Amino acid sequence: MTHPVISTVYPSRGKLYDYRVTDPSASPTVPVDDVITADGWEAKRLVIVVNRTLPGPDIVVYEGQTLIVHVTNSLASDSVTIHWHGLHQTGTPYMDGVPFVTQCPIAAGQTFTYEFQAYPSEHILQIQEWNHNWDSDYGFEMMVYGLVENRTQSIPSESVDGTIVSLLKAHSGLINGRGRYYFNYETGSHTEGPLTVYKVKQGSVYRFRAIGVGALYPFRVSVDGHMITVIESDGFPIQPVTVDSFIINPGERYDFTLVANQTIGNYWIRDKYFITRTTMPQKAEIFVVLTILATSLQQGLSIPAIGFSASLSRDIQLGDNQAIKYDRVLTNYGNGYDKWSGHFRAPRKGLYMFSCTLMAYSNHEVSVAMVKNNHVMMYVYSSSSSFDTGSTSVVLAMKRGDRVWIRRNGHGRYLHGIYNIFSGYLISENI
């Protein structure tokens, strides 16, 4: 619970109520975001969370940036580490979070600082809990599903190729920290806990990032009534593949796009347990709700809002071939522009319009180049003797991950602050 007043709630028809409520239809609800619901099971359980949330908050950085994370272990007695799953940790092996190998575990009440380069893109963290009264599977069971007191219920389970992969028995699954515990899969009786709901506009394209943060079983992911296109695997773009479903294992990451091309209504996003031997029925699944809403768009696909505009906050002097770091960011939809490097990195493939306005400092002149992936696309010149500005605009075909920036072109060094502007935006994805 994170609610400031109410300490105990119960779920009913996908909503939460104060435990003292006897008639939900005539009572106010408790905000779902104020409660860690997990699967809605009524028994009290201890769970390990990050910053009081399950799952923990996102840390969003640009690929290649240096990340510094201070981790304080607020547990009463157990030690922990943070493993940054999917990162290569080139040059920083002692930041990998493997206890007793790359570091000593973080003791209760202690703080450890991780510092490393964010590469490659799209990774996840795993909390490793180290209480040596349990084996690693049991530590995962406490971490992902909560503290389970009856250890004798754990039984072997096999993957589809017959390999023993875990000693645990699954009871339920979570998507974005929410799910439902099923009392009976055959009748559909469950805890009625709230689920994640994605609201989309009919006819639009949406990108989803699926991360297998569990420790036990693979899942088959599908969306009722829709085909999906897988575009990225473990942080790397792949040739798009359109499928009706895909299988994700623990630790894997997939990005897929979905066209909301069905009639207005609700559709299940399904994660089906992909297992062959367990006490759980084969129909066991966990769900997210996809709600398609009405839109005035009748044909075609909407263009996602990707665009930026940035200027200099002060006069600067440029070094040889130095990239101009426009530090006064006015707009940055899609988070493609990085003021620390001055680079724009295309979040999506498409046609982009870029513009540059240039003004040299008083009694100086300067020349700059617009560069795409180390290739010069256009030049701009300015002489301040008559307070002239130089400007240019260009349309470029960009692949996802392509970069564009402005750099000095070997002529002049001084720029006149806020009169220097760099901007760009996505025109079309149909290329």
Domain at 404, CATH number: 2.60.120.40
* Together in a domain, 311 and 278: no
Which among 277, 292, 325, 340 is positioned nearest to 422, based on CA atoms? 325
Buried b (16+ CB within 10 A) or exposed e, 145-168: bbebeeeeebeebebeeeeebbbb
* Together in a domain, 405 and 346: yes
Q: Which amino acid is at 215?
A: A
* Together in a domain, 191 and 249: yes
User: Is residue 192 left, alpha or beta, with left meaning phi > 0 and alpha meaning psi from -120 to 50?
Assistant: left
- Whether the CB-CB separation of 49 and 36 falls below 8 Å is answered with yes
* Together in a domain, 274 and 317: no
* Together in a domain, 278 and 327: no
For residue 340, being part of any structural domain is answered with yes
Residue 129 has a pLDDT of 43
* Together in a domain, 250 and 358: no
The total number of structural domains in the chain stands at 2
Write out the chain's pLDDT in tens, 431 residues.
555 566 677 677 777 777 777 777 767 777 777 777 776 666 666 777 888 777 777 787 887 888 899 999 998 888 888 888 778 888 999 998 888 999 999 999 999 999 998 877 655 554 444 433 333 333 343 333 332 333 334 334 444 444 434 445 556 677 777 777 777 766 767 777 778 888 888 888 888 888 887 767 788 888 888 898 999 888 788 899 999 988 888 888 888 998 888 888 888 888 777 665 554 555 556 666 666 655 443 333 456 788 999 998 888 888 888 889 999 999 988 888 988 889 999 988 899 999 988 888 877 888 888 999 999 998 888 876 666 778 888 999 999 889 999 988 877 788 888 888 899 999 888 77
Report the predicted TM-score, pTM, of the whole model to 2 decimal places.
0.52
Residue 92 has a pLDDT of 92
Distance between CA atoms of residues 92 and 85, nearest Å = 14
Residue 409 has a pLDDT of 83
For residue 12, being part of any structural domain is answered with no
At 238, list the tokens: 């792949």
* Together in a domain, 315 and 398: yes
Contacts of 316 (CB under 8 A, 6+ apart): 324, 414, 415, 417
Residue 156 has a pLDDT of 41
Buried b (16+ CB within 10 A) or exposed e, 283-296: ebbbbbebebeeee
For residue 333, being part of any structural domain is answered with yes
Structural domain boundaries, residue 253: 182-293
For residue 146, being part of any structural domain is answered with no
Per DSSP, the three-state class of 391 is strand
For residue 313, being part of any structural domain is answered with yes
* Together in a domain, 323 and 360: yes
Query: For the domain that residue 267 is a member of, what is the CATH number?
Result: 2.60.40.420
Backbone angles phi, psi at 248, to 5 degrees: -120, 130
Which among 103, 60, 63 is positioned nearest to 83, based on CA atoms? 103
CA distances from 136 to 7, 52, 125, 141, 251 (A): 32, 24, 17, 9, 16
For residue 133, being part of any structural domain is answered with no
The DSSP bridge pattern shows strands 285-293 and 197-201 to be: parallel
At 107, list the tokens: 């003791």
Residue 118 has a pLDDT of 82
For residue 16, being part of any structural domain is answered with no
Which residue, chain included where needed, has tokens 């201070």? Answer: 70
Beta bridge partner(s), residue 293: 201
* Together in a domain, 317 and 424: yes
- Whether the CB-CB separation of 392 and 316 falls below 8 Å is answered with no
* Together in a domain, 194 and 278: yes
* Together in a domain, 317 and 418: yes
Backbone angles phi, psi at 94, to 5 degrees: -80, 5
Contacts of 74 (CB under 8 A, 6+ apart): 108, 109
Domain end: 245, 270, 293, which one? 293
Domain end: 234, 259, 293, which one? 293
Residue 180 has a pLDDT of 75
Domain end: 263, 293, 323, which one? 293
Residue 284 has a pLDDT of 58
For residue 191, being part of any structural domain is answered with yes
Residue 351 has a pLDDT of 92
Per DSSP, the three-state class of 260 is coil
Rg value, the chain, Cα: 26
User: Would you tell me how many other CB atoms lie within 10 Å of the CB of residue 357?
Assistant: 17
* Together in a domain, 394 and 319: yes
Residue 98 has a pLDDT of 87
Q: Rounded to a whole number, what is the largest CA-CA distance in the chain?
A: 84
User: Would you tell me how many other CB atoms lie within 10 Å of the CB of residue 244?
Assistant: 10
